[in-house]
Chain A
Amino acid sequence: MMRRTLLLCLALVSMASADVWVDISEGERLYREAGGYGCAVCHGQVGDGGGQAGGYIRGAGLDQLNESLLTNAPMQPLSTVLSEQDRLNISAYLADLAERPLITARFENGQWVGQAEPVSAGQTVDLVLYNATFEPLAVDFPVLKQPLTLPALGTDVWTGVIQDPTLDLPGLTLERL
């Protein structure tokens, strides 16, 4: 939380003509709610793609966002409601996401499989868990500290510090990216 607040207070984006304050929390809110449905519906809960049409956008910059709002048909209508400041805030949120390695894990056919970006010990990661079955699923990876239950076809995101960079989570087969 403190890290997030610091980022909110200190984040500065250098522009050609001036330094502009950005609000990462506002960028996150817009990511979830812009246009009434948010970027998340096309890009996953944390820019991970989530198997949707929009794909992975963690770390996408302001230029990429502006280009997509200009040329990508499903996104074009959003360009009318996102101000320049909104766009800065969203791109700052996406940059913030990219600071954390992403681990995705999907439970299907009785097993967890996933992918992991390179992780160092002590690093904060985003762990996206998806239950691809039609029944609720209890998840008790030790790293979570406390178990959680994913609803049928549900997704949850755990953000926390990984101490063991081998990501040796019981029952999870990971592909290293």
Chain B
Amino acid sequence: MKLFKSLALVIVSLSGFVWAESIAVYKSPTCGCCTEWVKIMEKAGHTVDVYHPADLMSLKQELGVPRQLGSCHTAVINDFVFEGHIPEADILAFLENPPEGAKGLAVPGMPGQSPGMARPGETYSGFNVIEFNDQHQLKLFNRY
């Protein structure tokens, strides 16, 4: 485990960005698919701190998630916001080279074949990863 962490540190150092100490995930205590997404991130080697705010919808607004991009859970990493069932690879790509002015990424709603929703081993497909900024302008970041 120690070796893995050291190796991970070397890799992120080489790739030009450093993760925050942990990923903060805001979700409802009754959200099962949020928990599945958290498990995927933890399995990939990230530390995740889970919070259950009383008013999740208001929190999303405060964090700047455009209303139409809403999903169940919201993650915050290095002051960037990640809404919904985003594949880890897209979060890594975003953090490695954050697009100018971007606030974060979102996978709106609950696509059935997205991480945390798909069956184990199922290929991710049928959804888009959307980039957004503070002005709620949107851009396609990746397509599955």
- Chain A interface (Cβ < 8 Å from any Cβ of B): 33, 35-37, 41-42, 50-54, 73-78, 80-81, 134, 151-155
Also in contact, A42 and B110, with CB within 8 A (given A35-B31, A134-B140, A153-B138) = yes
How distant is the Cα of A53 from the Cα of B69 in the complex, in angstroms?
Answer: 15
Q: Which of B3-61 contact A (CB under 8 A)?
A: 27-33, 55-57
How distant is the Cα of A40 from the Cα of B126 in the complex, in angstroms?
Answer: 19
Chain B neighbourhood of A155, CB < 8 A: 68
Whether the pair A54, B140 counts as a contact (CB closer than 8 A) is: no
Report, as a range, how many residues of chain B touch the other chain.
Answer: 20 to 34
Q: Which of B66-95 contact A (CB under 8 A)?
A: 66-72
Query: Can you name 13 extra interface pairs (CB under 8 A) apart from A37-B57, A41-B110, A151-B68?
Result: A35-B28, A36-B28, A36-B56, A37-B70, A52-B112, A53-B117, A74-B31, A74-B33, A75-B32, A134-B140, A152-B136, A154-B68, A155-B68
Chain B proximity of A131: nearest CB distance (Å): 9
Q: Which of B111-144 contact A (CB under 8 A)?
A: 111-112, 117, 130, 136-140
How distant is the Cα of A96 from the Cα of B139 in the complex, in angstroms?
Answer: 37
Whether the pair A37, B32 counts as a contact (CB closer than 8 A) is: no
Whether the pair A74, B117 counts as a contact (CB closer than 8 A) is: yes
Q: Does any Cβ of A come within 8 Å of B104's Cβ?
A: no
Q: Does any Cβ of A come within 8 Å of B98's Cβ?
A: no
Chain B neighbourhood of A73, CB < 8 A: 32-33
Q: Does any Cβ of A come within 8 Å of B99's Cβ?
A: no
Chain B neighbourhood of A151, CB < 8 A: 66-68, 136
Also in contact, A53 and B138, with CB within 8 A (given A36-B28, A36-B56) = no
